[in-house]
């Protein structure tokens, strides 16, 4: 191991178009989604010998269905990479894809790897129903089935009830705490859809999004080009009868995959390419589980402090939008952050939030935006269920 940390570069980043729940990607297994982006990523750098890849890190929040048995390693094999290329799957719930990037970057920085792939995959459409194993043979009573698509299940009875509220109720708590009304949430959601639609029409995703074999899906499936303040206002609250959180100002359930190619200086020469960006500092923090949506705030502060940067220096910020109330709560707690640089090409309310993918998607988006600008500092961050926040600084 070197006594000096190595610089880590993002050479390329790709993702699938994000499918809606039960939509265009619902017929595609998650291991095939992961293999698809892995194969596409490698094919875009023909000078790189795939056998040079030291490890593949993939985030995945579920792991209860076809994504079981280490989906990262399955993706390596299904993508036709040499069997000598290993793979590991990491789980930090919504932060899994970014955690994969951070772990891959850390391995390169300390000299354990020179070239690595990091990404994430999730098929919420194909998440299975599960049941607990009976404590004895031939039980006479009914057995409860649990959906693994999203949220708490098989909760430990020792967990305090206030920690295990539904994710949407957590968003209501933040709206209540920070005085974020329904109109502000709907306005945020409307702007998200408009930014995403404009980015697609302007061709800003052409260099980032790769097709899924056998699927006719040209862009992210949940963008509502024609939505309006009136349409959003008609939607009923989901979690409280008198609440403010609706399907329109929340992220949807989704399917997709993303992957990034990370290298050190030697690996960069092996690719023959100019990097998109350099990986900077990262930070992870914890918070009370019911207020999980505010998790990014302290993570952002710590990551920027490590990087020696200020909020006002950021050229672009990708902040995951689990809920409009959650995103607004974070922005409101970060004075000095220019809202105009947050999610300039749309966020998860429009693009979608396949859990294990989002952290990798955010990181790749920042890298592409910095490359397009030619220079600058960017930041990717997201909240995490059960009360965590994760943030990553990138430079160019």
Cα separations (Å) of 41 from 35, 122, 204, 363? Answer: 10, 18, 18, 15
> 192, 222, 330, 383: which one is catalytic?
383
Handedness of CA 251, 253, 254, 258 (dihedral sign): positive
CA distances from 69 to 36, 60, 64, 152 (A): 18, 11, 9, 22
Please name the residues in contact with 112: beta carbons below 8 A apart, sequence gap of 6 or more. 1, 54
Confirm if 391 and 303 have CB atoms less than 8 A apart: yes
Distance between CA 238 and CA 26 in Å, rounded? 24
383 is catalytic: yes
193 is catalytic: no
What whole-number distance in Å separates Cα of residue 194 and Cα of residue 346? 7
Q: 186 pairs with which residues across the strands? A: none
Torsion sign across C-alpha atoms 345, 350, 352, 353: positive
Set 193, 222, 353, 368: catalytic member: 353
267 vs 42, 262, 371, CA distance in Å? 13, 8, 19
The sign one gets for the Cα dihedral 135, 137, 138, 143 is positive
Which residue of the set 94, 192, 222, 330 is catalytic? 94
Q: What is the dihedral of CA 226, 227, 228, 229, to 10 degrees?
A: -170
Residue pointed to by tokens 């019911």: 290
The H or E element that residue 364 is part of is: helix 358-373
State how far the Cα of 324 lies from the Cα of 248, in Å rounded to an integer: 9
Q: Which stretches of 202-273 are DSSP H helices? A: 229-233, 265-271
**Residues forming a β-bridge with 89:** 58
Question: Would you say 256 and 16 are in contact if contact means Cβ atoms under 8 Å apart?
Answer: yes
Dist CA 30 CA 178 (whole Å)? 37
- The residues annotated with a catalytic role in the active site are 94, 353, 383
């Amino acid at each position: 191991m070197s006594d000096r940390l190595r610089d880590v570069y993002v050479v390329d980043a790709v993702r699938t178009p994000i499918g809606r729940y039960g939509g265009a990607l619902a017929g595609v297994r998650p291991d095939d989604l992961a293999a698809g982006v892995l194969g596409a990523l490698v094919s875009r750098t023909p000078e790189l010998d795939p056998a040079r890849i030291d490890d593949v890190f993939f985030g995945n929040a579920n792991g209860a269905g076809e994504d079981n048995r280490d989906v990262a390693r399955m993706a390596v094999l299904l993508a036709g990479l040499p069997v000598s290329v290993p793979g590991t799957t990491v789980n930090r719930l919504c932060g899994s894809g970014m955690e994969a990037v951070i772990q891959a970057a850390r391995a390169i920085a300390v000299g354990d790897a020179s070239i690595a792939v990091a990404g994430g995959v999730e098929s919420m459409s194909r998440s299975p129903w599960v049941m607990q194993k009976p404590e004895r043979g031939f039980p006479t009573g009914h057995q409860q089935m649990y959906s693994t698509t999203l949220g708490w299940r098989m909760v430990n009875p020792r967990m305090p009830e206030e920690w295990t509220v539904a994710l949407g109720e957590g968003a209501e708590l933040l709206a209540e705490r920070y005085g974020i009304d329904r109109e502000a949430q709907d306005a945020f959601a409307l702007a998200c859809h408009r930014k995403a639609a404009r980015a697609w029409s302007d061709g800003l995703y052409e260099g980032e999004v790769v097709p899924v074999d056998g699927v006719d899906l040209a862009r992210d499936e949940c963008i509502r080009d024609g939505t309006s303040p009136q349409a959003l206002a008609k939607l009923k609250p989901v979690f409280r009868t008198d609440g403010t959180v609706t399907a329109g100002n929340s992220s949807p359930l989704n399917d997709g995959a993303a992957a990034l190619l990370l290298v050190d200086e030697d690996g960069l020469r092996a690719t023959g390419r100019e990097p998109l960006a350099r990986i900077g500092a990262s930070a992870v923090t914890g918070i009370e589980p019911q207020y999980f949506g505010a998790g990014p705030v302290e993570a952002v502060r710590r990551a920027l402090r490590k990087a020696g940067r200020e909020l006002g220096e950021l050229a672009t910020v990708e902040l995951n939008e689990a809920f409009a109330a959650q995103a607004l709560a974070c922005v409101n707690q970060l004075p000095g952050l220019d809202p105009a640089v947050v999610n300039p090409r749309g966020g998860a309310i429009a693009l979608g939030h396949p859990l294990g993918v989002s952290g990798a998607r955010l990181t790749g988006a920042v890298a592409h935006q910095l490359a397009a600008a030619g220079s600058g500092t960017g930041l990717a961050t997201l909240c995490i269920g059960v009360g965590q926040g994760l943030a990553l600084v990138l430079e160019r």
